[in-house]
Amino acid sequence: MTNEQTAIKTTYFSIIGNTSLALIKGFAGVFGNSYALIADAIESTTDIFSSLLVLFGLKYAKRPADDNHPYGHGKIEPLITFLVVAFLVLSASIIAHESIQNIKTPHKVPEPWTLIVLGCIILWKEISYRIVIKKSKETHSSSLKADAWHHRSDAITSVMAFIGISIALIFGKGFETADDWAALFAAVFILYNSYLIFRPALGEIMDEHLYDDLLEEIRLQAVKVQGVLGTEKCFIRKAGMKYHVDLHAIVDGAISVKEGHDIAHNLKDFLRSEIPNLGHVLVHIEPNE
């Protein structure tokens, strides 16, 4: 299974999970008198739409290179990540606004059974996070990583809701708004996570160098090719799940242009075979002194 297929399959997992949890949280929040759970349901609903965006981005990024997009369509991934972050910020804003409104309005203490629902949700969302983040690392997908952090932020907001409801139940009258304060705190945490997701995606779209480990691997593999004496400049930029490389290879200055050309092709083919996530590899031949 290719990286693209793995990422798409993982996104379907997120969509199904978020849809189920949004319904469970919504019903539990309404019938259990817990705005923290309703806030959780709102976030899970936005998660559904963000996961659909990720799915669209992954499928679009799979399109092969064409005349107008010689490097492929992978740059849509960080753009989709920006939209996912926008959904996170929107959900955090809605949760914060509604939390403040509910803090001002007297209401009943949440039902004790909502804690059982939250406990199950926390466990499931943390498992989901670990599954999706593992797949994002395997596929080098920035949008899938953003989707994984949706699961983690959802787990954290559920933990906050659990704490808030527990306080309201233990201390009783006067602490009815504890779960609303928990939802407000969760909104701040979601905004913080939004920045953590946004920053690397911005680096990707700006071709920021963030790939020292890959650069070192390219240099180590390059000198294994016959005729390559060493490497000089090496630039890497990411587009989708592929890394495009500009590499300056040092060769014997006395060889012919044809021999240098053959070494460049051999080096390109070798690097792409040894490092499967490489896309375009442009080799510039430098003569040794």
- pLDDT, tens only, 265-281: 999 999 999 998 888 89
Q: CA 3, CA 1: separation in Å to the nearest integer?
A: 7
Q: CA 6, CA 81: separation in Å to the nearest integer?
A: 18
Topology, domain 3-205: Alpha-lytic protease prodomain-like (1.20.1510)
> What is the DSSP secondary-structure string of 104-125?
HS--PPPPTTHHHHHHHHHHHH
Q: CA 124, CA 131: separation in Å to the nearest integer?
A: 11
CATH code given to domain 212-287? 3.30.70.1350
> Could you tell me if 247 and 231 are in contact, meaning their C-beta atoms sit under 8 angstroms apart?
yes
Among 250, 270, 271, CA closest to 260: 250
* pLDDT score, position 231: 94
Domain-wise residue ranges, the chain? 3-205, 212-287
- The two three-digit tokens of residue 231, written as one number: 């490497």
Reported as a single tens digit per residue, the pLDDT across 200-209 is: 888 888 888 8
Provide the sign of the torsion angle of the four alpha carbons 163, 166, 170, 173, taken in this order. Answer: positive
Q: Tokens 């989709």 map to which residue?
A: 80
What pTM did the predictor assign?
A: 0.70
Label residues 52-85 b or e (16+ Cβ within 10 Å = b).
ebbbebbeebbeeeeeeeeebbbbbbbbbbbbbb
Q: How many residues in the chain?
A: 289
Region of residue 227 (phi > 0: left; psi between -120 and 50: alpha; otherwise: beta): left
* pLDDT score, position 36: 67
Collapse the DSSP code of 212 into the 3-class scheme (helix H, G, I; strand E, B; otherwise coil) and give the result: helix
| Weakly modelled stretches of the chain, pLDDT under 70 | 1, 36, 106-107
Q: CA 139, CA 109: separation in Å to the nearest integer?
A: 45
Q: CA 289, CA 286: separation in Å to the nearest integer?
A: 9
Among 7, 90, 103, CA closest to 51: 7
* pLDDT score, position 66: 82
* pLDDT score, position 247: 96
Collapse the DSSP code of 68 into the 3-class scheme (helix H, G, I; strand E, B; otherwise coil) and give the result: coil
Q: CA 149, CA 168: separation in Å to the nearest integer?
A: 28
